[in-house]
Amino acid sequence: MLMATLAAPTFLFSRTQLEGRSSISSNSHILDKRSSKRLHCQLKQCLMNGILSGEIQASHSSYASLLKECAKLSTLSETKALHTQIIKLGLSESNTILANHLVNAYVKCQSVSEARQVFDNIPQRNVVSWTAMISGYAQNGYNVEAIVLFCAMLEAGMKPNTFTLGSVLSATARRGDIEQGRLAHGYIIKTGFQWDACVGNALCTMFVKCGSMVSARQVFDKMPERNVISWTAMCTGYVESGDIGQAFNIFRLMQLSGIKPNQFTFTSVLSVCGCFSVGEPGKQIHACIIKTGFEQTVPVDNAILDMYAKCGKIEDARKMFDGMPKRNLVSWNAIIAGYSQAEDCLKETLKLLEEMQLAGMKPDLFTFASVLSSCATGVSLEQGKQIHLSTIKAGVESDVAVGSALITMYSKCGSIDDANRVFGHMIDRNVVSWTAMIIGYAQHGYAQEALACFQEMEQAGVKPNHITYIGVLSACSHAGLVDDGKNYFNSMTKDHGILPSMDHYACMVDLYGRAGRFNEAMGILKRMPFEPGALVWRTLLGACRIHGEMEAGKYAAEKLLELEPEDAATYVLLSNMYASAGRWSDAVNIRKMMRNNAIVKEPGQSWIEVKNKVHAFVARDGSHPQTEKIYAMLEKLRMQLKGAGYVPDTNFVLHDMEEELKESILWHHSERLAIAFGLISIPSGTPIRIVKNLRVCGDCHTATKFISKIVGREIVVRDANRFHHFKDGLCSCSDYW
């Protein structure tokens, strides 16, 4: 009965019912809260219909009440209709309060220009008028206009209130204008507003957003009252500035002060733990959330999940994910990203993507980028191609982030042509996409293409970053372009203001070392502005191993063992260097040191993907289900290679034994087993792609060139340093690696 009455024409209601609130209030005791609210809204709608139809001439308070509803619901058409009625009655010019409501309603409807027209026509503006317009500008992103209007307000002799100042400080923060912020701060001190808690919070937030933590801390320390907003603003500021120590300190002091953190505090401090991969403090924060009985929300749960994932604690992340009562897109993306960064988790990443879609959640750009990253890490070209098709179906292939992830995936999976094709089809390119393509070319040994891509990038007006230069210098190193590498290294700082990092110096040591120019390599080491790290010494040792440079190699190994005494690779490189020089007793001594120190060498391993399944091989492997066929293919290849003139180079067997046994060991290296399996499993005409965890030995490199010519197949091998494309008896590295 009530609903039928409310649906009746508005003229059936008395003027008291339509304009006053007393009748609603007097009967509200017999209605529950929800029914009262519904009745109130229905009466408002009836009143609105009556006014808009011209059947009712309402009072100022009725128009004000309706404009509040319009502001709350952001209904522009009704606001305009009410405005028209108010103009007809001449109320906007004679009633400042009503005009202020109009300004606020237009602002909430994001119609700032119409709000300004109303504001300009108010004959007697008060502080509410100015604040409504300034706040409207600030809320809708018109930050300059908000500040300019505030200055006009002061010139008009109008004193602002705390809401005005909060809006101005908010606009200043969004602009990141520290000078304007300091001027506002000076005015606030002069007028005594600095003691107000809301203004103090706004000042802290403004200085934080402008990147001045010193000023923010000064304001914070002088605040007579601090609430959760004040503490959270400071905590967030230290997080964003990368000051992990102060962020945790503020969080601790906040708890000691008896202030209970809110979800924004927790998400800020958890993000610190994730960004800096500090799992233990993150666990403590998680325990604090549970201990304090904080009512966890989806954002807080997501922050905990993301923290565990970024800290590499994938089991804790999964436990958190599985226990979440509610999940959103951020939750799924966080767990997928966590698995995509973990080793050997491609299968789980793809399974999560499938579960996500079954749950009715649509993958976004971040989802696809994470899954593609997992395909790149797992070197799964076929899975990567399927995800590529999914990005096309989802209409996100042309996005810069997805395009960059596709380039990286194809490059790391050994298909540089597909990477180049994606790059060529990209409409927009940023520094990430250009860098991904340059690094892709460099890894595959296409130095000239990498350098040409870099020049094209500069011509396009895209500024390179430090990672771009790592790609450029690597390209020069892999191709022996020493002079070009020197020029690019010098131009990095001169032309782009990029100071060389440890990685850049390592590239230069590699550049000179591969070329056998050890005096210049040592010169780079001496000129470094900081102590050389393990990466630099390892790079030098690797170059010494290639050229048999004993003295420099021994010196590099000693430095490495000081920095990383348990690194097996150092012992192996040094032992191999001694063995190559025929110093068997020295090589044996190094091996003894490894055994005595319980240091285990990583076994050589090769992988090949066939029909979405990855097969792994070690030297002289007999565990594969098709071992018999693999060894039969190997024997067939051995006879064909022998007839083609291949002679095994037993110098690459770094053990003192009989020549015949050395030849047997060489012929059953892991990459040759993988190649043989590829030949019996992958259709003719399709490239065979192998991944090896160690550097390809010289004899395997020679043998693979012969195999590519005999079988007429392209063989792509990704070793620990780079890609080798074997085709028609040649390699893309031109035997310089």
Average pLDDT over residues 99-125: 90
pLDDT at 289: 85
pLDDT at 587: 84
For residue 121, which amino acid is it?
A: N
Strand, helix or coil for residue 624:
coil
CA-based R_g, the chain, Å: 35
Quick check: 655 pLDDT over 70? no
> Whose CA is closest to 425, among 449, 400, 450?
400
pLDDT at 27: 35
Task: Evaluate whether residue 38 is within a structural domain.
Answer: no
Whether 46 and 66 have beta carbons less than 8 Å apart is answered as no
Q: What is the pLDDT of residues 274-298, one digit of tens each?
A: 766 666 777 888 888 887 777 678 8
Whether 442 and 478 have beta carbons less than 8 Å apart is answered as yes
Six-digit token string for 267: 């998400």
pLDDT at 1: 25
Residue count of the chain, please give it.
737
Q: What is the pLDDT of residues 52-68, one digit of tens each?
A: 555 445 566 777 888 88
pLDDT at 700: 92
Cα-based distances in Å from 498 to 452, 463, 474, 493, 495: 20, 11, 17, 5, 8
pLDDT at 477: 94
Task: Evaluate whether residue 499 is within a structural domain.
Answer: no
Q: What is the pLDDT of residues 320-346, one digit of tens each?
A: 999 999 999 999 999 999 999 887 788
| Calpha distance 614→381 (Å, rounded) | 11
| Calpha distance 578→656 (Å, rounded) | 12
Domain count, the chain: 1
Task: Evaluate whether residue 196 is within a structural domain.
Answer: no
pLDDT at 16: 33
Quick check: 374 pLDDT over 50? yes
Q: How confident is the model at residue 11 (pLDDT cuts 50, 70, 90)?
A: very low
Strand, helix or coil for residue 249:
helix
* Residue 682 domain boundaries: 606-731
* DSSP string covering 548-583: T-HHHHHHHHHHHHHH-TT-HHHHHHHHHHHHHTT-
Q: What is the pLDDT of residues 480-512, one digit of tens each?
A: 999 999 999 999 999 999 999 999 999 999 999
Quick check: 175 pLDDT over 90? no
Strand, helix or coil for residue 150:
helix
Average pLDDT over residues 601-610: 88
Strand, helix or coil for residue 716:
strand
Strand, helix or coil for residue 211:
coil
For residue 705, which amino acid is it?
A: K
Task: Evaluate whether residue 568 is within a structural domain.
Answer: no
pLDDT at 315: 92
pLDDT at 657: 64
Average pLDDT over residues 403-421: 94
680-697 in b/e form (b: 16+ CB < 10 A) is: ebbeeeebbbbbbebbbb
Strand, helix or coil for residue 717:
strand
Cα-based distances in Å from 403 to 205, 383, 425, 427: 36, 16, 9, 10
| Calpha distance 556→624 (Å, rounded) | 39
**Which residues have C-beta within 8 Å of that of residue 491, sequence separation ≥ 6?**
none
pLDDT at 163: 92
User: What are 726's strand-pairing partners?
Assistant: 715, 731
Average pLDDT, the chain: 85
| Calpha distance 478→507 (Å, rounded) | 10
Q: What is the pLDDT of residues 75-107, one digit of tens each?
A: 888 888 888 878 877 765 567 888 898 899 999
Burial class (CB in 10 A: 0-12, 13-18, 19+), 227: middle
| Calpha distance 705→714 (Å, rounded) | 10
Q: How confident is the model at residue 663 (pLDDT cuts 50, 70, 90)?
A: confident
> Whose CA is closest to 74, among 108, 115, 118, 116?
108
Q: What is the pLDDT of residues 127-153, one digit of tens each?
A: 999 999 999 999 998 999 999 999 999
Q: What is the pLDDT of residues 380-389, one digit of tens each?
A: 888 999 999 9
Structure-derived torsion over alpha carbons of residues 118, 120, 124, 128, reported in degrees to the nearest 10: 70
Q: What is the pLDDT of residues 455-467, one digit of tens each?
A: 999 999 999 999 9
For residue 112, which amino acid is it?
A: V
Six-digit token string for 674: 């993988």
Average pLDDT over residues 218-238: 90
Whether 387 and 619 have beta carbons less than 8 Å apart is answered as no
Span between the terminal Cα atoms of the chain, in Å: 88
pLDDT at 671: 94
Whether 309 and 319 have beta carbons less than 8 Å apart is answered as no
For residue 322, which amino acid is it?
A: D
- Going 427 to 432 to 435 to 439, the CA torsion angle's sign is negative
Quick check: 39 pLDDT over 70? no
For residue 431, which amino acid is it?
A: V
Quick check: 177 pLDDT over 60? yes
pLDDT at 8: 27
pLDDT higher at 202 or 65: 202
pLDDT at 695: 87
Task: Evaluate whether residue 674 is within a structural domain.
Answer: yes
Task: Evaluate whether residue 658 is within a structural domain.
Answer: yes
Q: How confident is the model at residue 30 (pLDDT cuts 50, 70, 90)?
A: very low
pLDDT higher at 392 or 276: 392
For residue 527, which amino acid is it?
A: R
pLDDT at 626: 95
Quick check: 672 pLDDT over 90? yes
Quick check: 703 pLDDT over 60? yes
Quick check: 682 pLDDT over 70? yes
pLDDT at 431: 96
Six-digit token string for 298: 């989806």
Task: Evaluate whether residue 127 is within a structural domain.
Answer: no
The residue written with tokens 């003192």 in the block is 656
C-alpha 339, offset from chain centre = 14
Task: Evaluate whether residue 418 is within a structural domain.
Answer: no
Whether 97 and 126 have beta carbons less than 8 Å apart is answered as no
Q: For the packed helices 244-256 and 263-275, what is the interaxial angle rounded to 10 degrees? A: 150
Least confident of 17-26, 108-117, 476-485, 595-604: 17-26
pLDDT at 57: 52
Average pLDDT over residues 529-544: 91
- Long-range Cβ contacts of 578-581 (<8 Å, 24+ apart): 579/654, 579/655, 580/545, 580/548, 580/651, 580/654, 581/548, 581/550
pLDDT at 41: 53
DSSP H helices, 311-380, are 314-322, 329-341, 346-358, 365-377
> Whose CA is closest to 566, among 539, 585, 547, 593?
593
H helix or E strand, kind and range, residue 124? none
